[in-house]
Chain A
Amino acid sequence: MCSLQESLPPPALGIVTVAEQNGDLITRPEDEATTLIGNSLQGINLPIIEASTDTLASLAIDESAQSAFLPNKGDIPLWKRAWYSCNENGVSGMLEEMAEERSDVPWLVSSMAYGCLTAVRAASTLQGSIYPHMTLSRPELISEYSVVRDWDDSEIRAFAWHPHTNKCAVAWQNDSIKRHCAHLKASIPTWCLLFGLETILCWNLSCWLSVLCPGLASRPASQSTRPSAGSAQVLSHHTNCPITTLAWDPRGRLLTSASPWDTVMMVWNVPRETSYAVGRGGGGGVSLLRWSPDKSRLLAATPSAVFRVWETHSWTCEKWTQLSGRLQAACWSPDSQILLFCSAKEPAIYSLNFNATKVGGATTGGAQAAVKCADLSEVIYEDGDLEGVRIGGLIQDMAWDPTGERLAVLFQKTLEEDHADDVIALFNTRLQPVLELIPCGFIRCEPEEEPQLISFLPKFDKGALLTICFKSGKVKFLPLIFTSVWSLSENRRPPFQALNGSSHHRNLELFSVND
């Protein structure tokens, strides 16, 4: 187990990390940083992402047509009002309407409605005491379970790389989604949501971009600048639960969606528009889904201290309990053998090993217990410029690069003055022979910028490319240049399935790689 104390101290405020060169983080003062980043990224074709709010802002109107009219409660019969409010707000809305003390509501009806309403409220309070997340409102729920650090204020709500090319999709706060291609200077406005709130993006293997809105939409990305109904495929399922997580399986056939209010997750066959409900009771819902890169396992975290790992052949699951809190973030190693996860209440990373040979049959082949492999509790620096600065704490999100050699960790936001929560911890990881995390250092970004989202470019020849999205809408590309271990030894099988890493075989001709 490693801790943050073994790591090099972070750069002082005003010094910016610009790149990594074979294990050393290169830092520069802020004014020099921009040119150096530009130099280190030379020859790499990357999209230019700028926060411009002009193009689609006019289209994305939050208001619905309903707000133009005043509610008329005067001379509508009671049954009609009850019917409308039942359609609009559900049964509880109808009860509220009828429980109102008004002259035209008979006494018996209103008292019965009042009684029912009290019973419903008592039941929901009871449910809330068992599962506290059930009492949250929808925006609160989304901001709680989103991977974005500061959902309410962040300009960028979601970010997703295309799995093969240097192309990405960004969801902005004004409910517009834009795709940015490396070879095009301008962005392509793709979608504008009229419903707002939750947005999750994920790309599929074959260029399908899934967008989550109150319904569930998935569309093949096309060149059209104006989204048309024909290019989108809408998947809908009659449920009242807000979906907060989406994941495509790595082969691009199945789309999984889940809600923290519902213990059942839906597995969609998108071209056929059919869905299958998969789930087990307990845990209160599903808050996070992560597919392993070889498609054989699926992690489903719940809002309580339980998570499950499904094997995807006969869809049975193994359940892990006794976490200190709910599972906050998780990532799979590129060879699908190791799962790293962290809980929302403990500053530590745990690892869980899976045995490859056991897959098949009704077992996921998981180890009996998870091992704590990194301790990220707070470290206080007491010398130099960093006197009294505290670093570390609870984890917001983790990202593992596709070669399996770098792990980036984003910390949760704290409101304390001397807490440097805007640094990103970088670990050097080794998968063979046993998992090893070696603290590499801290990445410090420009002052006044708060990192919100981190992710790695799926294909990068020179090592790994970390993408950091900031609160202000800026996106920073940080090249981590290193020579990966497996490429050093000749004729060695890459330590992961070659599904996403075909570029590494460039110097091989077309023949099979022997075990």
Chain B
Amino acid sequence: MNVRSFVQLQDGLTQASMLDTGIYVDRLMLYNKPYTKQGIVHSISHFLYGNNVLHFPVLKQLKFFLVKSHIFPSFFEALRSSFKHVVYFYLLYIVLGCVPRDWLEANLKLDYSISQLESVYNLFDLTFFWYMLISGAFLHHLWHFALFLMKIFITEVYEFPMEAALIERDEACLDKILSTSSPYVKYQAFQDLQDLSEHSKRRRGWIYSLSQPGGHPHRWNRVCSQCLELLDSLTNRLLAHHNQLTNGKLQQKYSATEQISTLSSNGSTIGKTLTASSQLTAQSPGSPVLYSPSRPQGNFEVTENYGNDSVFSSSYVSGQYPNYGGQLRRRPIHTGEFPNPEETPRMIGRRGALDRLKQFRLVKYLLEPLPDSASRDLFQDCQLHIWAVEALSALVISSLQEDTYGVVQQTLPAILMSMMSLSNAIEKHLKFLSMSKDGRQRSDLLALSSSGSVARLRGGLQGSLKTALHGTIATFGHHLSNITLPPDYSKQLSHLMEYKE
């Protein structure tokens, strides 16, 4: 689509002045080459700078003002980057420009003998430079602006109904939709929950309300259990990961699962790590569930379909791993039977080939996992947890004034415990992460995590947990001491209540 439209565009610009076919072909090529190059550069930078990752904004500004404030910076950025790329293009054009021209000339049996491409005249051709600069900037702006618009529309808050008029539509209500299997809908549902918990008193009232015949707080129970389940699953994943690392089991598991791990062509290492962790769950059925909440296993096809669309799959399905030069797709963690027996022999063969390849240092470097890839993988879908924590805390805080039937207070201990345990688990994880690496790896880690969006999300989760706990304490004050909690947690709570630093 790109090439065609630009040809058309340039057509309009140049056709009037181009009479000779030869000149036309030359010009056509001349103006098309920057676009090809621009296209390549754009697709590489798209993945390299994480443009494929979708970030949900913290502030929900109106679309008009977002777009308005984005247009000018985006255009200047486009000009800047176009100018930067022109330099590389000139080099390419002068050195290799004659190759495609000669090829076209030979194929179309054209005969023309105008100026040579590698001439000084071409180097100082201002019209050419101007065309290239402007059209490059235009292209860059067009692509980025389209992506920007799409992201705005995708991340917009969708308001789910709280109560359905018809029974058939009941499944579309917010409290039911929270447990949906579709990742995008789930993200939207949690975003809406966070939004209503902070800003809409009327919709909060629905959540605190009781069911009409029976008088049960079904809505609150569903919302709360979904959020807590989400938080607990992350806590358990973190603890399981931590246990593996501390007990040195990871190394053993590697050797055990190396034979059977499913490898995608570019995602070997991640697949391996996750296999190791799922193996652990399969062996200890008593341990709490260990699965990625955004990707329940029954809906593999659905998520794969989403996965094809790189834009919004990437924030939760796959991250960016720059050292692989591309995108790794995270495989779902199987909680049930494993491995798949049909694939095993082929996998073993491929595995052996990979092992042989690993003898080369460069290949080994490319195939080794990044130091914190496992950690990043754990926090991949952290945005959901951030929303869950913020929604819970806002609902708890406003329950003091608005919850007429006291439905929230029954679950207050569970909420506090969940938040504290998750906060502790994250702290432990980060401490371990920073201590367990040797110097070289740590510098790698710092470099990656400071720029990585996952590290930011992780920080965001930690911050919102802390804010949520402090907010709850500030609201209920000393009454929280009436709550019965396990001794560890009540001690931690009292520490928090005294604002000890």
> Interface on A for B, CB 8 Å cutoff?
162-165, 167, 205-207, 221-223, 251-254, 264, 267, 269-274, 276-279, 295-296, 313-316, 359-360, 362, 493, 497-500, 502-503, 505-506, 508-515
- Quick one: which of A269, A274, A315, A513 contacts B401, CB cutoff 8 A? A513
Are A271's CB and B462's CB within 8 A?
Answer: yes
Are B409's CB and A510's CB within 8 A?
Answer: yes
Give 4 closest A-B pairs by Cβ, nearest first: A271-B463, A502-B477, A206-B470, A510-B479
With a cutoff of 8 Å between Cβ atoms, the chain A residues found around residue B463 in the complex are 253, 269-272
With a cutoff of 8 Å between Cβ atoms, the chain A residues found around residue B399 in the complex are 512
- Please report the number of residue pairs spanning A and B whose Cβ atoms sit closer than 8 angstroms: 128
Q: How far is the CA of A151 from the CA of B436 in the complex (A)?
A: 49
- Quick one: which of A163, A164, A296, A315 contacts B61, CB cutoff 8 A? A315
**Beta-carbon contacts of B446-471 to A below 8 Å, as 1s and 0s?**
00000000001101101110110111
B482 interfacial contact with A, CB 8 Å: yes
B121 interfacial contact with A, CB 8 Å: no
Are B482's CB and A221's CB within 8 A?
Answer: no
With a cutoff of 8 Å between Cβ atoms, the chain B residues found around residue A493 in the complex are 401
A254 nearest in chain B by CB position: B58
Are A512's CB and B459's CB within 8 A?
Answer: no
Given contacts A162-B499, A505-B477, A513-B401, A253 and B467 within 8 Å (CB-CB): yes
Least Cβ–Cβ distance between B345 and chain A, in angstroms: 46
B390 nearest in chain A by CB position: A253
Are A251's CB and B460's CB within 8 A?
Answer: no
With a cutoff of 8 Å between Cβ atoms, the chain A residues found around residue B229 in the complex are none
A269 nearest in chain B by CB position: B58
Are A512's CB and B456's CB within 8 A?
Answer: no
Q: How far is the CA of A251 from the CA of B466 in the complex (A)?
A: 11
Are A165's CB and B400's CB within 8 A?
Answer: no
Given contact pairs A253-B467, A272-B58, A502-B474, enumerate 19 new A-B contacts (beta carbons under 8 Å). Answer: A164-B474, A205-B467, A205-B474, A221-B501, A222-B501, A253-B464, A254-B58, A254-B59, A271-B462, A276-B58, A279-B69, A314-B61, A315-B60, A359-B199, A360-B199, A502-B475, A506-B477, A510-B482, A511-B409
B478 interfacial contact with A, CB 8 Å: yes
Are B62's CB and A316's CB within 8 A?
Answer: yes
With a cutoff of 8 Å between Cβ atoms, the chain A residues found around residue B102 in the complex are none
B248 interfacial contact with A, CB 8 Å: no
Are B402's CB and A515's CB within 8 A?
Answer: yes
| Residue of A223, A314, A497, A509 most packed against chain B (CB within 10 A) | A314
Least Cβ–Cβ distance between B233 and chain A, in angstroms: 21
> Interface on B for A, CB 8 Å cutoff?
57-62, 65, 69, 198-201, 390, 394, 397, 399-404, 406, 408-409, 456-457, 459-460, 462-464, 466-467, 469-471, 474-480, 482-483, 499, 501
Q: How far is the CA of A316 from the CA of B60 in the complex (A)?
A: 10
Least Cβ–Cβ distance between A418 and chain B, in angstroms: 47
Q: How far is the CA of A506 from the CA of B480 in the complex (A)?
A: 11
Q: How far is the CA of A206 from the CA of B198 in the complex (A)?
A: 18
Are B62's CB and A362's CB within 8 A?
Answer: yes
Are A498's CB and B475's CB within 8 A?
Answer: yes
A503 nearest in chain B by CB position: B477
Are A164's CB and B501's CB within 8 A?
Answer: no
| Residue of A163, A278, A510 most packed against chain B (CB within 10 A) | A510
Q: How far is the CA of A498 from the CA of B477 in the complex (A)?
A: 10
With a cutoff of 8 Å between Cβ atoms, the chain A residues found around residue B476 in the complex are 502, 510
With a cutoff of 8 Å between Cβ atoms, the chain B residues found around residue A503 in the complex are 477
Q: How far is the CA of A295 from the CA of B62 in the complex (A)?
A: 18
Are A223's CB and B61's CB within 8 A?
Answer: no
Least Cβ–Cβ distance between A490 and chain B, in angstroms: 18
Are A508's CB and B467's CB within 8 A?
Answer: no
Least Cβ–Cβ distance between B58 and chain A, in angstroms: 5
Q: How far is the CA of A252 from the CA of B394 in the complex (A)?
A: 12
Contact sample, A vs B, 29 pairs, CB 8 Å cutoff: A165-B499, A205-B474, A206-B470, A251-B471, A253-B390, A253-B463, A269-B460, A271-B459, A272-B456, A272-B463, A296-B199, A314-B61, A315-B59, A315-B60, A360-B201, A362-B62, A498-B400, A498-B475, A499-B471, A506-B477, A510-B409, A510-B476, A510-B482, A511-B406, A512-B399, A512-B401, A512-B404, A514-B404, A515-B402
B398 nearest in chain A by CB position: A497
Q: How far is the CA of A480 from the CA of B181 in the complex (A)?
A: 58
Least Cβ–Cβ distance between A436 and chain B, in angstroms: 25
- Quick one: which of A223, A314, A498 contacts B501, CB cutoff 8 A? A223
Least Cβ–Cβ distance between B26 and chain A, in angstroms: 38
Q: How far is the CA of A506 from the CA of B479 in the complex (A)?
A: 8
Q: How far is the CA of A503 from the CA of B473 in the complex (A)?
A: 11
A272 nearest in chain B by CB position: B460
Are A512's CB and B403's CB within 8 A?
Answer: yes
With a cutoff of 8 Å between Cβ atoms, the chain B residues found around residue A222 in the complex are 501
B462 nearest in chain A by CB position: A271
Q: How far is the CA of A432 from the CA of B442 in the complex (A)?
A: 60
With a cutoff of 8 Å between Cβ atoms, the chain A residues found around residue B478 in the complex are 502, 506
Q: How far is the CA of A362 from the CA of B60 in the complex (A)?
A: 12
With a cutoff of 8 Å between Cβ atoms, the chain B residues found around residue A223 in the complex are 501
With a cutoff of 8 Å between Cβ atoms, the chain B residues found around residue A514 in the complex are 404
Are A515's CB and B477's CB within 8 A?
Answer: no
Are B401's CB and A515's CB within 8 A?
Answer: yes
With a cutoff of 8 Å between Cβ atoms, the chain B residues found around residue A277 in the complex are 69
Q: How far is the CA of A4 from the CA of B236 in the complex (A)?
A: 65
With a cutoff of 8 Å between Cβ atoms, the chain B residues found around residue A221 in the complex are 501
Q: How far is the CA of A279 from the CA of B66 in the complex (A)?
A: 10
With a cutoff of 8 Å between Cβ atoms, the chain B residues found around residue A499 in the complex are 397, 471, 474-475
